Amino acid sequence: MHIAICDDDKEELAHITSLLEKYRREHHAALTHQAFHSAVELLSTAKAGDSALYLLDVMMPAVNGMEAAKEIRRFDSETKIVFLTSSPEFAVASYSVKAMDYILKPVSENRLFSVLDELLRDSQKPQEGLSVKVKNGISRILFSRLCYVEVVNKQVYFHLSDNSVREVTARLSEFEQALLARPEFVRTHRSFIVNLFQIDQLVQSKITTQQGKNIPVSRTLYKEVRDAYVRQLFWEEGTQ
């Protein structure tokens, strides 16, 4: 489990790094970490899947923590983000990038360790998904990484959060029961099923995903999609 820490305060950065080392020793955790003094430095090396957790200072020069989080969400919708902030008022803003939590500075051992405990528990849970037959064999598609499903003629395309696509020769009806039985998936159009957690914006006729893809919303399904999206937003706020 790799953790990236970004803070322009060298003393705070050293303090957090020492806490991570203490946690690793005391919990015998397979934990690695890398420190960054600026968000620009962090973003220049960040890649999808590289880090299980980003600890981001909110107030940094040039690119602040919120701007860095938005950029991270463009290529990685699954990694956990925790903000480091001097004000609890920032918690509301953190919802827009689906942050896991926020920690008040100076960072305390108990507060950081509780976040790490939760992260470890989540990493040990088996992840749910679909196994589909693709051209070269079988592909496992995790529900958490599935952005949306599209059918074109007799081909079903599974669009993932890292912008990769799995193509299957099948009918959408073969998968819709498994998908629509889950609260995070909703049909937006006869040819599309979308993961609500992957939505960046919903308007009358379309959805824009966090990856910048536009998905049509039919007029007859708009109210259902809107209501499901609102429920998902309130559920997220209740779990923060």
Under a CB-based contact definition with an 8 Å cutoff, are residues 187 and 177 in contact? no
Domain that holds residue 195: 129-239
Burial class (CB in 10 A: 0-12, 13-18, 19+), 195: buried
Instruction: Give yes or no for residue 240 having a pLDDT over 50.
Output: no
Q: How many domains does the structure of the chain reveal?
A: 2
Domain CATH number, residue 6: 3.40.50.2300
Same domain, residue pair 22 and 107 = yes
Residue 184 tokens, joined: 């995070």
The Cα–Cα gap between 30 and 53 comes to: 13
Residues 212 and 141 in one domain: yes
User: Is the confidence at residue 235, as pLDDT, over 60?
Assistant: no
More confident residue, 31 or 149: 149
CB 194 within 8 A of CB 222: no
CA 180 to chain centre: 20
In this predicted structure, the answer to whether residue 160 has a pLDDT above a threshold of 60 is yes
Looking at residue 94, its pLDDT comes to 64
